[in-house]
Amino acid sequence: GDSVTQMEGPVTLSEEAFLTINCTYTATGYPSLFWYVQYPGEGLQLLLKATKADDKGSNKGFEATYRKETTSFHLEKGSVQVSDSAVYFCALLTGGFKTIFGAGTRLFVKA
């Protein structure tokens, strides 16, 4: 079945460091791909999305490119801030409109 695999955390970085969180997926067809962020004690917020191969989603300095050939959707940010500390979920939307989430990656950014 469809699934999402993302790198285990926690990831600890210093402020202004470069961030990469790897995400790969398995799916039939061509799913839409998402990154969601969950700040402590809060619900999910959509961070960015891409709906077809080679699309690049971007928001708040974060980027991810839909790579069909490697079935990947890695999240990157050039310079993280303390306020970026949160849990990041990679997800795909199946043809049946169900969202499949990865396990989540916790990011800690130190000042």
Partner 1 sequence: GAVVSQHPSWVICKSGTSVKIECRSLDFQATTMFWYRQFPKQSLMLMATSNEGSKATYEQGVEKDKFLINHASLTLSTLTVTSAHPEDSSFYICSARNPQGTTDTQYFGPGTRLTVL
- Using CB under 8 A, list all residues that contact partner 1: 32, 36, 42-46, 49, 51, 89, 93, 97-104, 106
**Are the C-beta atoms of 104 and 89 separated by less than 8 Å?**
yes
When the beta carbons of 17 and 99 are compared against partner 1, the nearer one is 99
3-state secondary structure of 84: helix
Q: Minimal distance in Å, beta carbon 59 to partner 1?
A: 13
When the beta carbons of 45 and 81 are compared against partner 1, the nearer one is 45
Cα distances (angstroms) measured from residue 62 to each of 30, 47, 103: 23, 8, 19
When the beta carbons of 9 and 17 are compared against partner 1, the nearer one is 9
Pairing of strands 105-110, 11-14: parallel
**Are the C-beta atoms of 107 and 9 separated by less than 8 Å?**
yes
Q: Distance between CA atoms of 7 and 34, rounded to whole angstroms? A: 15
Q: Minimal distance in Å, beta carbon 85 to partner 1?
A: 14
Q: Minimal distance in Å, beta carbon 57 to partner 1?
A: 12
When the beta carbons of 17 and 104 are compared against partner 1, the nearer one is 104
Q: Minimal distance in Å, beta carbon 16 to partner 1?
A: 27
